[in-house]
Amino acid sequence: MLAGRDLIRCGAIFSMWKHAGRNDARQVPVTQHSVEYEVTDRALPAIGLNCDAASKPFYNARTLSTGAEVSLWVWQQYLQTRDRHFLEENYPLLRESSRFLISYEQIGKDGLRHTFPSNAHETQWDVTDPVTDLAARRTLYTETIEAANLLGRDAGFVSQLHAALVLIPALPRTPQRSSGALLAASANATYNDVITESAEPSAPQHNVENIGLEPVWPYGLIGDDSVLTPLARRTFQFRPYPTNQDWSFDPIQAARLGLGTEVAATLVKLTKTYQAFANGFANWGGDSGEFYIEQTGVTATAMQEALVQNYDGVIRIAPALPPGWDFAGTVSVSGRTKIHVQTRSGVVQVCIMEAGTSEVLRVRNPWLGEPFDVVEDHTGDVILHSVIGPIVSLQAITGHRYILRRSQLTAEHIRFAPITGTPARGAKQLGPRHLGLAAASAR
């Protein structure tokens, strides 16, 4: 699940470039030259082509956000590893993806920069301002600016990106029970709006994706403490396709929105509905389906997002724990830092941060509203005492370990509980699904 879906889904965007009257292939993202095979839909009278601007409207004929999504994970990989050589090698992808999208934009009567025709991934075809484009452009342009400044490149283009950023339209909204009408941003005051797929909410639906939640994940524009969090949570509550298909991102997006109960509910539902094979793989396509790993990838991503998040520079410890869960794990975050966490009954018991880089770490209080200490593990020195604020800044040193503990606890209380259990001797079952094969004697 590194990039959420097929990284090279929409190749050969050069055809789109020509369709728009822009023939400079130097500005087409290199990874977007790979061509996806033709796909035939029996319901259609003729073949539709993905990644082909000359094609009639089709599932990915004009999906423009692929380069931006690949670039998102390139940037995240750099933040994780701080590998400057990797960033230097891959920076052209960010830059050229940005150039492509800027060139595809059209100035509207409102003075803003719009994309048309463009797909809201596979769900709406040839519409104006798909949410995928809006979110991708905001994220991509910001990341490209940061990468360019870090590498000391393309100052003129950075200025162009700054100018383009402020002209990206707001996320389109529609009523919770959609009437097909767009709402102004002021509708947020009535708590009756949700994010819709595009500026054309009544356009036909061709797939069962919850496109309105893409700004939450993968693009990371809205989390659990954003001005737009209530809007995004309504969008989740009233999403058109709840936990539909094995690749549903519902558990991941629920985690980003701090909805621990929904994380558990959607993970269980996905497993019961789609994990049809004894090897743990999911079934895609009904009775005649095939082994698919998408549901496994969603599960793995959602579990780590429920335990630790670090998508915007703030380390969130246990931001979306399902109530009552016992949970233990290690999650790698920005700067090669590792976060070791153990919970009991849905409450953080132990948290140790292992710094991979000497830098300031911004950490959200795992026990919101309660004071906590930060202790240097090797020396036992209390670096920060009785911190009450929601976010603390800590100057970390490479290789040092820092214990986060409730202020009333002492060092002897900070221990990882041993993980107990016995080796699996038989198949496990969740609802109608089995993991492993039943013993011969049980058949």
Domain boundary among 214, 241, 268: 241
Q: Pseudo-torsion of CA 376, 380, 385, 388, nearest 10°?
A: 60
Which segment, 1-15, 95-109, 270-284, is predicted with the most confidence on average? 95-109
Half-sphere exposure of 386 (CA within 13 A, CB side): 1
Nearest CA to 75 out of 100, 95, 94 is that of 94
Final residue of a structural domain among 202, 226, 241: 241
Task: Report if residue 366 sits inside a domain.
Answer: yes
Lowest mean pLDDT among 137-151, 153-167, 269-283, 424-438: 424-438
Spatial separation of the C-alpha atoms in residues 321 and 305, rounded to whole Å: 9
How many angstroms separate the CA atoms of 42 and 352, rounded?
55
* pLDDT above 90 (res 261): yes
* pLDDT reported for residue 314: 97
Q: For 203-215, how does the pLDDT look when each residue is reduced to its tens digit (9 = 90+)?
A: 999 999 999 999 9
pLDDT at position 188, please? 67
Mean pLDDT of the chain: 86
Q: Are residues 198 and 255 in the same domain?
A: no
Give me the pLDDT at residue 413, please. Answer: 60
Residue 30 has what pLDDT? Answer: 30
Q: DSSP secondary-structure letter at 110? A: T
Residue at 148 is within a domain: yes
Q: What is the per-residue pLDDT across 383-440, written as a single tens digit (0 to 9) for each?
A: 999 998 899 999 999 999 999 999 876 655 666 777 777 888 888 889 988 888 876 4
pLDDT digits (tens, 9 = 90+) for 285-328: 666 667 888 999 999 999 999 999 999 999 999 999 999 999 99
For residues 297 and 373, membership in a common domain is answered with no
User: Total domain count for the chain?
Assistant: 3
Q: Note whether residue 432 is domain-resident.
A: no
Residue after which a domain boundary falls, among 202, 224, 241: 241
* Whether the Cβ atoms of residue 158 and residue 145 lie closer than 8 Å to each other: yes
Report the pLDDT averaged over residues 260-278. 94
Of 441 and 117, more confident: 117
- Asked if residue 306 belongs to a domain, the reply is yes
Q: Which of 437, 432, 427, 428 is nearest to 273 (CA)?
A: 432
Contacts of residue 440, Cβ cutoff 8 Å, sequence gap at least 6: none
Q: What is the pTM of this model?
A: 0.88
Q: Is pLDDT larger for residue 79 or for residue 413? A: 79
Q: Is 130 in the same domain as 250?
A: no
In the predicted model, what is the mean pLDDT of residues 368-391? 92
**Between 186 and 395, where is the model more confident?**
395
Query: What range defines the domain where residue 205 resides?
Result: 14-241
From CA 98, how far away is CA 77, in angstroms rounded?
18
Question: Is pLDDT at 12 greater than 50 in this prediction?
Answer: no
Question: Does residue 241 register a pLDDT over 90?
Answer: yes
Decide if 182 is inside a domain.
yes
Mean pLDDT comparison of 17-21, 337-341, 421-425, highest-scoring range: 337-341
pLDDT at 277: 87
For residue 123, the model assigns a pLDDT of 96
Angle between helical axes of 155-165 and 84-104 (0-180°, round to 10): 50
Number of C-beta neighbours around residue 237 at 10 A? 13
Averaged pLDDT, 153-170: 98
pLDDT score of 144 more than 80: yes
Between CA 265 and CA 276 the distance in angstroms is: 18
CATH number at residue 355: 2.60.40.1180
Q: What is the mean pLDDT of residues 193-202?
A: 95
Average pLDDT over residues 101-110: 97
Q: What is residue 4's predicted lDDT score, i.e. its pLDDT?
A: 37
Return the pLDDT at 41: 46
The pLDDT of residue 19? 36
Same domain, yes or no: 105 and 237? yes
Mean pLDDT of 118-135: 97
What is the per-residue pLDDT for 369? Answer: 87
Helix (H) or strand (E) holding 137: helix 131-151
Do 92 and 140 reside in the same domain of the chain?
Answer: yes
32 pLDDT exceeds 50? no
CA distance 132 to 172: 11
pLDDT of 64 strictly over 80: yes
* Residue bearing the bigger pLDDT, 283 or 27: 283
What pLDDT shows up at residue 45? 46
**Which DSSP string do the residues of 141-199 spell out, in sequence order?**
HHHHHHHHHHHT--HHHHHHHHHHHTTSPPPPEEESS--S--B-GGGGGGT-EEE-SSS
pLDDT recorded at residue 412: 58
